[in-house]
Amino acid sequence: MFDPSCPKPDDQLEQEVMAILTDHRYDNDPVRDLLSRLWHRIEEQVDRLERVADISDLYQSHVLESNRSLTTRYEKQLRQIKRVVRISDLYQASLKELNLSLFEASTHDSLTGISNRRFMAERCLEEDQRAARHGSTYSMIILDVDHFKLINDEYGHATGDLMLVDFVKALSSSLRHYDIIARWGGEEFMALLIDADLSTAELVAKRMLANIREMRVSIDDMELKLTASLGLTEHKPDENYDATFRRADKALLMAKNAGRDRLVVIDPTNPLSHREISTLVSAAE
């Protein structure tokens, strides 16, 4: 088992073991045989470890490696494994950051930074489920920038994009901190008002209408402004968000047909009637 021709170790403990294994006085000692087998097993384990981590050491000569003690070789492989672990940790951190970026890109609008249609649809579904479990409610506002195509045609899409960014700021400043605003598509937006009945939601919608009217966007020597049409309704028990959306969208269409720049409210308990709000209100209301 033990090869007396192997290189002389430079570790104190290994030297002591080597002295026992090479001392003929212990040839018939059964402990020597056990110690020799243990020594051989350690050599095999170190050799296996070196084969796993040997990619970075191909330039090393076999002679140099064979002259190193088992302890020295073992410590070297441990250092290499630590480097591999650090590289793996960096890779995992980069992968996590990439996944977060991909999730952000898939759930938020790239221009305005607010939620996109996909994310909002998922949140509406969650609110449906919460309402079914706890009897809670929510309200929904669908709004559309008035005559936005004319703005793009007259001032260009770059100007239109700047105005949409400021438009979203006006909307966001109107909401409560737990409400959600999303770009539903183009110049159409949706606000989901969590735990808001119709009267509470109407206050938010009026504030939103006022903030939109007061916003100004400076382009060159001009100050441009926008108006918007809003449709508001409350979620009705036992209906899904798609039914709530259709009713809010109907209210939005009524606001457009009535002359735009106004809010139309449909009470879910009486969907055949509606209230129209177009008088100027204070943004601080």
Model confidence pLDDT, tens digit, residues 213-258: 999 988 888 899 999 999 999 999 989 999 999 999 999 999 999 9
The pLDDT value recorded for residue 65 is 57
- Two tokens at 57? 């050491």
Please pick, among 44, 127, 187, 285, the residue that the annotation labels catalytic: 187
Last residue of a domain, one of 67, 88, 107: 107
Residue 102 belongs to what domain range?
Answer: 1-107
- Two tokens at 154? 């007259």
- For residue 38, is pLDDT > 90? no
What would the mean pLDDT of 51-78 be, rounded to a whole number? 62
The pLDDT value recorded for residue 281 is 46
The pLDDT value recorded for residue 105 is 60
- Same domain? For 75 and 139 the reply is no
Which pairing describes strands 188-194 and 180-185: parallel, antiparallel, or unpaired?
A: antiparallel
- For residue 206, is pLDDT > 70? yes
Number of domains, the chain: 2
- Same domain? For 158 and 88 the reply is no
Confidence of residue 280 (pLDDT cuts 50, 70, 90): very low
Q: Which backbone phi and psi does 181 adopt, to 5 degrees? A: -120, 140
Look at residue 272 and give its three-state secondary structure.
Answer: coil
List % helix, strand, coil for the chain (3-state, nearest 5). Answer: 55, 15, 30
Q: Is the entire prediction scored with pTM above 0.75?
A: no
Residue 285 belongs to a domain: no
Residue 284 belongs to a domain: no
Last residue of a domain, one of 50, 85, 107: 107
- Same domain? For 200 and 116 the reply is yes
Task: Look up 187 and say whether it is catalytic.
Answer: yes
- For residue 48, is pLDDT > 80? no
- Same domain? For 79 and 142 the reply is no
Computed over every residue of the chain, the mean pLDDT equals 83
- Same domain? For 135 and 270 the reply is yes
Task: Give the separation between CA 217 and CA 212, rounded to whole angstroms.
Answer: 11
- Same domain? For 123 and 228 the reply is yes
* CATH number, position 196: 3.30.70.270
